[in-house]
Every structure is written in structure tokens, then in C-alpha cells.
Amino acid sequence: MVSIDHVAQRVLTYIPYVLVLIDMRYEGVKCGRDGSVDNHIEMGKKLLAAGQLADALSHFHAAVDGDPTNYMAYYRRATVFLAMGKSKSALPDLSRVIELKPDFTSARLQRGNLLLKQGRLDEAESDFKKVMKSSASDKEQKEAQSQLTKSDEIQRLVAQAHSSFSSKDYVTAASQLHAVIETCVWDVTAREMRAECFIQLGEMGKAISDLKAASKLKNDNTQAFYKLSTIYYNLGDHEMSLNEVRECLKLDPDHKECYSHYKQVKKLNKQIQSAEALIQEQRYEEAVSKYETVMKTEPNVQHFSLRSKERICHALSRGQQSSRAVSVCSEVLESDPENVNVLKDRADAHIQEEQYEEAIKDYETAAKHSENDRQIKEGLEKAQRLLKQSQRRDYYKILGVKRNAQKKEIIKAYRKLAQRWHPDNFQDPEEKKKAEKKFIDIAQAKEVLTDPEMRSKFDQGEDPMDPESQQGHHHHHHHFQGGFNPFGSGPFNFKFNFN
């Protein structure tokens, strides 16, 4: 009986051989079946030796079809399956060989090894014992003996793992199962149990890889897909969660747990996607309320509420809602203090609030956790520039002129103010002190704003009168450094004595 997929597989993979097969079939009819089957076996052996597994397989398929009682055809086909890593397909072939020829020990030994790898220990042991009782070669007897010993050891480990597991000692159980799985690589039960240990221990990455293996090793393993989906969900990965739960429903559309979980994840997924689309479209208010809905849809998984708050913080800072942004961003940073995106958003909001020192702190923290981030570098420079500006004297304001004032207006404003704030106009020592400071400011303002080079520096955010902000431009300093005497320059040649 040829299964459909064998035929399909053969036709697809071996088009060049289809013609050969047809020729050989006709030949077989003429010279009796065996000739043709032997030809296929010979061809298959040659191709197998040359490492052409797919082509070899097609010939062994043909040999098996040509003579369903030829145990060698099955045995050769099993060999190819094993070479291709298709142990599931090899097993029934080996069993057929043993049925047709019970004293064929190498087939029995290989079947025992496969059963052992699948964790079917009792069946494996029965094969090893039969090989030891048979007239097998010394080498085969020895191998069977050592595999039997190994199998006994694993039986013990499995029993110990079960007892550790039931007394909730998951660390020990996991390490016992690890020893089992080293030999029984295709043992689904051991993997599922170890995944459960990892879940209990909170090692979700390891649980995921065991469950992925379990979903491949056992057909229709809906439970593995369901568990994978819930793990991803609890880790806040809604997209992966959706993928896995869909796999479960493909196998069983009426699976109750998978279906209700699917509805929840799908709803959440849709909300998150539309919230992100709103942020893309700069509809920040709507994005905020969509993320608030996400938090209502899944109030129990911390990852989703944190992620939602992170995105709300982003939308608020983008939407110029700076004080709300600062408070939401701060909530996120309480539980996730190294979150670079949130630090950047909060810094941005601080700048909008003119809280430059706080912005600088946030950018510096962010820079520690994210090197070579251009946004952080630029943000930090901007905040430092704004802080300087906010602390700096504004010479236009001091003279009460517009930023685009002509030199004439500047001198006129200076004269008016200099007359008014001349320290000689004040008798009271406190008032006189205040006037002196003011008078110096006025004189420096005139000095800066009437000198085109100094004025342009000032307009670019540098204070030419502040030695701190001189970034290597010292040539202008001779005007005022040390010897600058506001009272000795300009149209009023006042003489003071400060006693």
C-alpha cells in the first residue's frame, strides 16, 4: 500500500528517475518481479553510498512497492530515513523487518536505540534483551548490553524526577530530566515535564525551547502550543502569543482553552496596533486613550501595563502635554529605572517645562545605558545650551531693546539707562550697591551689542562676557578682562571713588 504522500514525494523530488522507474517496471514485468526489485535495491545502495539520499529513497520506495515481503528493502529504506534524520519514518520500517525476519539482530538493535531515544524504555529493553539472547555477533551483544545498562539507569532517573517533581523540588527534577533527555532526545514526556519545572522556576526562555521541541516531537500537541502562547502572553509578547495559539487552533478549532485565549490576545493585539497607528499619525490624545483601554483589557500582566504607560508617556511628551508626561514617565521609571526610551521622553517633557537640570540628569542616565545614541547626545547638548541661556544675562532685556535693534537704538537706550542708574545718584549704601551692579550690566550690554562679533556670538547662545562659555575664543577678552572699567568708557567719563 503506497501512501499518497510517498507518491507525491517521489514524483516531486525525483522527476529524473520517474522515467527510469517506469522502464524498470516494464522490465520487471518481463523478467519477473524480483529482477526489478533487485535493480532498485542495487541502484539505491549506490546512490546511498554516494550520499544522494533523496534519490536512494525513491528506489527503496519502489523496491518496497515491488515486493512488500522483501525485508532488505525495508531495512535499506529505514537506513536512508535514519541518515535523513527522519527517525519517525524509520521505526515502522524496522518493525516490519523484524516481523518478516525475527532473527535479524541489527534491525532489532537499531529499533531498540530508536525506542530508547524516544523514551519508550520498556520496549527498548525488550529489544536489547532479545539481541543478547540471540546468536548476534559479539559486537552487537556488547552494544545491546551497554544500551540495556543505560536504559536501566534512565528508568531510575525518570522515577527520581517524578518524585522530585511531585514534592515540588523543581531544581532537582529539572537536572534529573536533563540527564534523561541527554539520551532520550525525542522523549516528549520528559521535555514537557522539564518545561513545567522551568515555568515553576520562572525560567521562561528554557521552558519555551522545551515546549517548542515537544510541539514538533508529538503530532497534534495542542497543549504545548497553548502553554507557549500563555508564556509569551505573560512575557508581554502579544504577537508571538497570537502565532502559537493559532497553531493550536489549526490542530483543533474547537479547543476550549485555546479559543478563549485566542479571543483575548486578538483583542489586545488589535488595540495595541491601532494605538501605535495613532502615534504614527500624531493623534496623541487618541493614542493615550487607546493605551488606557489596553490596560483595562489586560490589567493583570505587568508587562502590558508598563508598556502601555511607556507609550502614553511618549505620546504625551510628543503632544506637548509636558506636565502629564513627566508624571506618567516617572511612574514607569519607578519600576524600570533604566528604560532609555522613557528617560528620553521624560527629558523632552522636562525641557518643555523649562526644567533643564532635570532634563540633563535624564539624558545623562540614558547615555549610561545606551552608548552612541545620537538623540541622547543632541538632547543633552540642547538641554545644556538652554540651561546656560536661562542662567545667562540677556543683554537685550537689560537695555530694553528688541533683538533686531540697530546700533543707534542700542546706544540711545544705553545712555538713558546709564544716566538713570549712575551710582552717584544714590545716597543709601544698599541702593548704591544695587545701582553699581545694574550700571555694570548696562555697560556690558552696550559693549556686547555694539560690537558685531560679540553680538553675533551672543545671538548664537554664547555669553562673550562669561569666561566659562568662551570655547577657545579668547581674542575678544582684552576689552574687559581684569581691566574692564565700565565707568571709564563711553560718552560719560564719570570719575568715582568707591570708598
One digit per residue, pLDDT tens: the chain, 499 residues? 444 455 444 444 444 444 444 444 444 333 344 568 889 999 999 998 999 999 999 999 999 999 999 999 999 999 999 999 888 899 999 999 999 999 899 999 999 999 999 999 999 999 999 999 988 788 999 999 999 999 999 999 999 999 999 999 999 999 999 999 999 999 999 999 999 999 999 999 999 999 999 999 998 999 999 999 999 999 999 999 999 999 999 999 999 999 999 999 999 999 999 999 999 999 999 999 999 999 999 999 999 999 999 999 999 999 989 999 999 999 999 999 999 999 999 999 999 988 999 999 999 999 999 888 999 999 999 999 888 878 777 888 899 998 888 999 999 999 999 999 999 999 998 999 999 989 999 999 999 999 999 998 888 777 787 766 555 444 444 444 444 444 544 444 444 444 3
Question: Letter for the amino acid at 344?
Answer: K
Predicted local confidence at residue 462, as pLDDT: 79
95 with 124, same domain: the answer is: no
> For 284, how many CA atoms within 13 A lie in the half-sphere containing its CB?
14
Percent of the chain as helix, strand, coil, to the nearest 5: 75, 0, 25
Buried b (16+ CB within 10 A) or exposed e, 428-454: eeeeeeebbebbbbbbbbbbbbebeeb
User: Which one, of 227, 233, 281, lies nearest residue 255 by Cα?
Assistant: 227
Q: Establish if 275 belongs to a structural domain.
A: yes
User: Which one, of 402, 426, 400, lies nearest residue 414 by Cα?
Assistant: 400
288 with 375, same domain: the answer is: yes
User: Which structural domain range is residue 43 located in?
Assistant: 1-101
Predicted local confidence at residue 469, as pLDDT: 53
Phi, psi torsion values for 342, nearest 5 degrees:
-70, -40
Residue 113 and residue 94: Cα distance in Å, rounded?
11
Predicted local confidence at residue 345, as pLDDT: 95
- Which distant-in-sequence residues (6+ apart) come within 8 Å of 43 by Cβ? 56, 59
317 with 367, same domain: the answer is: yes
Q: Establish if 348 belongs to a structural domain.
A: yes
416 with 302, same domain: the answer is: no
**From start to end of 265-377, where are the E strands?**
none
88 with 120, same domain: the answer is: no
215-252 pLDDT per residue, tens: 999 989 999 999 999 999 999 999 999 999 999 999 99
pTM of the predicted model, to two decimals? 0.68
Q: Establish if 16 belongs to a structural domain.
A: yes
Q: Are 24 and 40 in contact (CB under 8 A)?
A: yes
Residue 446 and residue 455: Cα distance in Å, rounded?
10
Predicted local confidence at residue 468, as pLDDT: 61
Residue 301, classed as helix, strand or coil, is: coil
381 with 401, same domain: the answer is: no
Predicted local confidence at residue 487, as pLDDT: 52
Residue 277 and residue 36: Cα distance in Å, rounded?
66
Identify the domain boundary among 101, 129, 158: 101
User: Which one, of 232, 182, 234, lies nearest residue 212 by Cα?
Assistant: 232
353 with 411, same domain: the answer is: no
User: Which one, of 253, 198, 204, 194, lies nearest residue 229 by Cα?
Assistant: 204
91 with 184, same domain: the answer is: no
Question: Letter for the amino acid at 336?
Answer: D
- Which distant-in-sequence residues (6+ apart) come within 8 Å of 219 by Cβ? none
385 with 280, same domain: the answer is: yes
Identify the domain boundary among 361, 391, 421: 391
Q: Establish if 258 belongs to a structural domain.
A: no
Phi, psi torsion values for 218, nearest 5 degrees:
-120, 125
Residue 421 and residue 437: Cα distance in Å, rounded?
9
Question: Letter for the amino acid at 164?
Answer: S
Residue 441 and residue 434: Cα distance in Å, rounded?
11
The number of domains in the chain is 4
Read off the C-alpha cell for 378. 543632541
Q: Establish if 254 belongs to a structural domain.
A: no
Question: What would the DSSP string read from start to end of 5-17?
Answer: HHHHHHHHHTHHH
How far is residue 266 CA from its own chain's centroid?
Answer: 21
Residue 470 and residue 86: Cα distance in Å, rounded?
75
Predicted local confidence at residue 6, as pLDDT: 52
How far is residue 371 CA from its own chain's centroid?
Answer: 18
Residue 241 and residue 247: Cα distance in Å, rounded?
10
Identify the domain boundary among 73, 101, 129: 101
CATH of the domain at 450: 1.10.287.110
Q: Establish if 449 belongs to a structural domain.
A: yes
CATH of the domain at 189: 1.25.40.10
Cα angle for residues 281, 287, 289 (degrees, 5° grid): 155
406 with 479, same domain: the answer is: yes
- Which distant-in-sequence residues (6+ apart) come within 8 Å of 75 by Cβ? 93, 94, 97, 104, 107
Predicted local confidence at residue 318, as pLDDT: 92
Q: Establish if 241 belongs to a structural domain.
A: no
123 with 78, same domain: the answer is: no
Question: Letter for the amino acid at 305?
Answer: S
Q: What is the DSSP letter of 14?
A: T
How many other CB atoms are found less than 10 A from the CB of residue 177? 31
Sign of CA dihedral 310, 314, 315, 321: positive
Q: Establish if 236 belongs to a structural domain.
A: no
206 with 303, same domain: the answer is: no
